[in-house]
Structure 1
């Protein structure tokens, strides 16, 4: 998995628009969307473009336009590291909202990384991390998002870590409630990919503004960030069980994809099994495309994931 902690200035300043042209037969076939039930809502996670953004081949300000015009997606999920220098710039976020509105694109959430550990054993560091997230709550509110996604990282033995996370996440959820912005925990490795552990924290906090963003990948318990891209993790939480346990608290779903076989199926994640779990749960939010593979280009991966979601959703009835 590419390091989410890396921020490259060109991600924000890059002037070259992303091209989605390709001569790949697989890519061309995948670009045809199916006729879908009206209740399937698909969004696009900005992390799907992280290589283009990091190389300066795409301007982060153009995200909503590219999602709509190049992929036919009408809802987006931003990643904070591509806007670090704009974090406190309310004028910028108001312009971003206008750009999205002009495209008739809904802004759903901001994925927030590297703002300190909300489960730090040091109370002062924990409070600092909580306050570091405030600016992204404000940005999300200006954009019209419903949530920010956070990481429930921290240190210490299991019991101490849980106590710290209940405090940190509880404080942040209380602030989010005042601004009408949800705080969502994503499985991102280590204890955050232990769904039962995370759910026990959410239940103990007892704030409806604290929820989850279950990711189809990222269930590795042995490493931070938790990617299961190469099937090399030594300790993996059952991804289907984890998503199922997160769904009652979910405000979104992240459809991770890594690679595809000749039939267009994801090679690690059983999308039929996973999407049936999502559908049977009664979840009625957005399912977000988050392509993270390297075997094909990012545009190809986005199209392939979109086509797979549509195909499977139709097949599971």
Structure 2
């Protein structure tokens, strides 16, 4: 059986943090008050001395984690190939940038580091010895529209098997198992005047796996405007959904999972996520040998603390069954 620990990505509080409503310390304290055992921080967003960590900042994190009894578990690294204005970074330059992130994660005392799939499988293979040396496990994120068995994700799997390293693996984002349209985007589209029947048409086209260009033209022919088309773009992109999520793929990659991003966009008062079937995802993890964290990751802007509270409550409820 798995040993699942529940944490919170401080990204969940992004809107309040950016607006100055919450400080970094407020975010850490809130995660602890909600009962999280650990937290994840996105370096480019909340690390004051990003991409490095000064001794002063390290002391501040140590003080806060000790004060609130919560562990700094995961460092979210950005694979930013657009750092230069004149060209994209080369693969080697992105590798060197990720090594800096790895050193930062190590200094912060993190167990794991999330990287994005702009870091190629070949670069991740080169990174494996560094991860082993610094003692930080690296998880490449599986994020919509990718799934565990997407061809590109399978290229990473080949690297894991080739190297045999226990320090590189996957960080699946639960959003890639969504079964319904994103409620937040759907509601926004309606508020902006989108007819429900056209939104339903867009969703059905996605369920039927109609190619995006064809689906787009059919919607336009039906009279879809900007509000509908905005929601449609998400349905075929970062908030896509599936009639049959890749649960079998999840089972196959479980031995290579470093940690999870427990993505959520809207939590009902009944403790159900509006589009992601946690009641089907969590049993797969619970019946594996996984030993690590699920980091609650709220990706919307309203009522972040309450939504995160509900999300943790839902996970606890489902995991005791």
TM-score, with length taken from structure 1: 0.71
> Shift of the alpha carbon at 1:49?
0.8
> Shift of the alpha carbon at 1:168?
0.7
Q: Which residue of 2 aligns with 1:168?
A: 123
> Shift of the alpha carbon at 1:236?
5.3
Q: Which residue of 1 aligns with 2:16?
A: 52
Give every structure 1 segment of 4 or more consecutive aligned residues whose post-TM-superposition deviation is greater than 4 Å: 190-193, 227-232
Distance, in Å, in 1 between the alignment partners of 2:251 and 2:21 is 37
Q: How does 1:253-292 map to 2 (within 5 A)?
A: 253-292=260-299
Q: State whether residues 94 and 143 of structure 1, in contact with CA within 8 Å, keep that contact through their aligned partners in structure 2.
A: no
Q: Which residue of 1 aligns with 2:168?
A: 210
| 1:110-165, Cα deviation, whole Å (9 max, x unpaired) | 11114339xxxx997111111112232222212211121101226xxxxxxxxxx2
Q: State whether residues 76 and 108 of structure 1, in contact with CA within 8 Å, keep that contact through their aligned partners in structure 2.
A: yes
SS of 2:317 mapped into structure 1 = helix
Distance, in Å, in 2 between the alignment partners of 1:182 and 1:306 is 24
Q: State whether residues 174 and 276 of structure 2, in contact with CA within 8 Å, keep that contact through their aligned partners in structure 1.
A: yes
Q: Which residue of 2 aligns with 1:75?
A: 38
| 1:188-237, Cα deviation, whole Å (9 max, x unpaired) | 345576243432333234322111111111469xxxxxx99757523757
Q: State whether residues 93 and 139 of structure 1, in contact with CA within 8 Å, keep that contact through their aligned partners in structure 2.
A: no
Change (3 A) 1:262 1:39: same
Match of 2:133 among 158, 172, 178: 178
Q: State whether residues 254 and 285 of structure 2, in contact with CA within 8 Å, keep that contact through their aligned partners in structure 1.
A: yes
Larger radius of gyration: 2
Distance, in Å, in 1 between the alignment partners of 2:265 and 2:53 is 34
Q: How does 1:124-143 map to 2 (within 5 A)?
A: 125-143=90-108
Aligned residues: 257
Q: State whether residues 79 and 115 of structure 2, in contact with CA within 8 Å, keep that contact through their aligned partners in structure 1.
A: no
Distance, in Å, in 2 between the alignment partners of 1:228 and 1:125 is 38
SS of 1:72 mapped into structure 2 = coil
Distance, in Å, in 1 between the alignment partners of 2:89 and 2:277 is 43
Distance, in Å, in 2 between the alignment partners of 1:239 and 1:76 is 27
Match of 2:66 among 101, 109, 117: 101
Distance, in Å, in 1 between the alignment partners of 2:112 and 2:155 is 22
Distance, in Å, in 1 between the alignment partners of 2:269 and 2:68 is 34
SS of 2:118 mapped into structure 1 = coil
SS of 2:64 mapped into structure 1 = helix
Distance, in Å, in 1 between the alignment partners of 2:283 and 2:30 is 29
> Shift of the alpha carbon at 1:74?
2.5
Change (3 A) 1:185 1:229: farther
| 1:43-70, Cα deviation, whole Å (9 max, x unpaired) | 11111111112222222244332221x3
Q: State whether residues 199 and 245 of structure 1, in contact with CA within 8 Å, keep that contact through their aligned partners in structure 2.
A: no
Q: State whether residues 97 and 142 of structure 1, in contact with CA within 8 Å, keep that contact through their aligned partners in structure 2.
A: no
> Is 265-274 or 182-191 further displaced after alignment?
182-191
Match of 2:159 among 201, 205, 208: 201
User: Where do 5+ consecutive residues of structure 2 fail to align?
Assistant: 186-202, 204-233
